[in-house]
Chains A and B, each alone.
Chain A
Amino acid sequence: MTKNAPIIEAASLDKFYGSFHALKDVDLTVHQGEKMVICGPSGSGKSTLIRCFNGLEWHNSGQLVIDSIEVHQNAKEIRALRQEVGMVFQQFNLFPHLTVLENLTIGPVKVRKISKDKAEKTARNYLDRVHIPEQADKYPAQLSGGQQQRVAIARSLCMEPRIMLFDEPTSALDPEMINEVLDVMVELAETGMTMVVVTHEMGFARKVADTMVFMEGGRIVEVSPPEKFFTDPASDRCRLFLNQILEH
């Protein structure tokens, strides 16, 4: 793939939780339209890193530029930035007191100040895209986990973001529901959306990733294209990790 302009640029990011060093000198660049999959053992800092990308966590030092806005704790533009960066969580985090349709329209209506009619039209369009148009008037608790996660993806897309972040989107799902969510993500990838995905679903990674990232102990150990990553990883630790998760 020919590289477009960079949309996320992280340079020597460090992050501490108290005395715990969660991110160690992380350098990473994501280009427009790129699909990046980040994997690594638990506690390796993958979630912390992508949570920095929409200001849910703050890095303690280093530089982070997203969509040409420099992100730091006092940035006034952080809300504007979050509208451009969608986030899908492991636990879905749908708003349980609102219907599916209201979950999808509340952001556009209250934050983007789009008219309710227009927001509903967009919302129904995205519900179609995630294959659950018939669930619009239900409450999240009435849906299966897979459906809830697809609603969560649609909720983020309704904000028309330029980047989508996925934080282990299938880890909380029953096995038979994982594919319906991954299918939606593959379709989204085909539209050219910039995506950064933390996941252990290597089948998905092989299918859509332009770049694979392996993290361990708060450091980025390896960044390579999937062809090389899966067949001939540069580091032993990465090879060991892949063996462990691909073994069976």
Chain B
Amino acid sequence: MSALDMEHPRYKALPKQPSIQRFFGSAPVSVAIYLIVIGMIVYGSFAGARNMGYNWQWYRIPDYIYTFTDDGFQWGEIAYGLVATLNLSFTAFVFATLLGLLIALLRLSDLIVGNAVALGFLELIRNIPLLVLLYLFYYVLGPVFGFDRYTASILTLGVFHAALISEILRAGINAVAIGQWEAAKSIGMSQGQIYRYIILPQSIRFMLPPMTGEVVHLIKSSAIVSVIAVAELTTVGRNIISDTYMSFEIWFTIAIVYMAVTLTLSVGVTYLERRYAVDH
């Protein structure tokens, strides 16, 4: 027997959604509208390109990803660029997380100086554009401390994202109930032990979703180091274009490669979250 008698007068109290809203809200119509809009954008750009007399050369693109020559299989420039981007992003991420954790702990501490240092760092970094920060590290601090391009890039990305990551970590740490601190203190744990064994393990699930967003953000913002000619995906794209003038094909390809990486990452982490969403 069905639990609810939907014919009963009290269920009629809810006004029906206007039919126009129901029409546009239904799944097939939404998808159709979405496809039409995307189609118009793609068509528009291709039509525009045709009017410019643009000479499409998509057939040349695969060679920049990989080739089969007499010597066998070889990765192309874009593939090497991707590896360089991943390498750069990973190194910067590790640095940013360590620095971010330090900043977060300083802000959460009772030390007045620590608090001031952390807050000063946050405000400084958050209020300087990433590009200007990169110029500072490369053109100003670079000569002073002897950073090469690569080091300057890592430092820029690391420092910039450390500020954002520290806020994620702080929020995650604060999300753990205060009672956990009290229970851990009352069995005599030190501050360090409380963080390590009690608070951080519980904060991870609060941090994972925003941290994924942050990694995606970092991979995308790593493109900015192409302005100081660090060899990575975007720089490779620029170099190929200056040789071949295939700007449309190359920029589409580069965009798709970034998307493929970041989407894989997001989907992967969503899977992890589901898998480790234990009910405790």
State whether B179 touches A139 (Cβ < 8 A): no
What is the total number of residues of chain A having a CB less than 8 Å from a CB of chain B? Answer: 30
Q: Report the bound CA distance from A79 to B191 in whole Å.
A: 10
Q: State whether A111 and B193 are in contact (beta carbons under 8 Å apart), knowing that A91-B179, A97-B201, A155-B187 are contacts in the complex.
A: yes
Is A62's beta carbon under 8 Å from chain B? no
Is B185's beta carbon under 8 Å from chain A? yes
State whether B279 touches A107 (Cβ < 8 A): no
Interface residue stretch chosen among A80-88, A189-197, A223-231: A80-88
State whether B188 touches A111 (Cβ < 8 A): yes
Q: State whether A79 and B202 are in contact (beta carbons under 8 Å apart), knowing that A95-B180, A95-B183 are contacts in the complex.
A: no
Is B241's beta carbon under 8 Å from chain A? no
Which residues of B have CB within 8 Å of A107? 187-189
What is the total number of residues of chain B having a CB less than 8 Å from a CB of chain A? Answer: 20
State whether B198 touches A156 (Cβ < 8 A): no
How near does chain A come to B189, taking the closest CB pair, in angstroms?
Answer: 6
State the main secondary structure of chain B at its contact with A.
Answer: helix
State whether B187 touches A93 (Cβ < 8 A): no
Q: Indicate which residue in B182, B197, B278, B280 contacts A89 across the interface (CB closer than 8 Å).
A: B182
Q: Report the bound CA distance from A94 to B182 in whole Å.
A: 10
Is B51's beta carbon under 8 Å from chain A? no
Q: Report the bound CA distance from A106 to B184 in whole Å.
A: 10
Is B186's beta carbon under 8 Å from chain A? yes
Which residues of B have CB within 8 Å of A54? 185-186
User: Restricting to B101-149, which residues have a CB under 8 Å from any CB of A?
Assistant: none
State whether B188 touches A159 (Cβ < 8 A): yes
Interface string of B138-179 (1 = CB under 8 A from A): 000000000000000000000000000000000000000101
Which residues of B have CB within 8 Å of A89? 179, 182-183
Chain A minimum-CB-distance residue to B278: A139
Interface string of A156-173 (1 = CB under 8 A from B): 100100000000000000
Is B2's beta carbon under 8 Å from chain A? no
Q: Indicate which residue in B184, B190, B193, B280 contacts A139 across the interface (CB closer than 8 Å).
A: B280
State whether A79 touches B280 (Cβ < 8 A): no
Q: State whether A156 and B179 are in contact (beta carbons under 8 Å apart), knowing that A97-B201, A97-B202, A110-B193 are contacts in the complex.
A: no
Is A96's beta carbon under 8 Å from chain B? yes
How near does chain B come to A108, taking the closest CB pair, in angstroms?
Answer: 9
Closest 10 CB pairs of A and B: A107-B187, A93-B183, A83-B188, A93-B179, A87-B186, A82-B188, A141-B280, A139-B280, A111-B188, A96-B280
Chain B residues with CB under 8 Å of chain A are 177, 179-180, 182-190, 193, 197-198, 201-202, 278-280
A-B contact pairs, 12 of them (CB 8 A): A56-B185, A79-B188, A80-B188, A86-B186, A87-B186, A95-B180, A97-B202, A106-B187, A111-B188, A152-B183, A155-B187, A156-B187
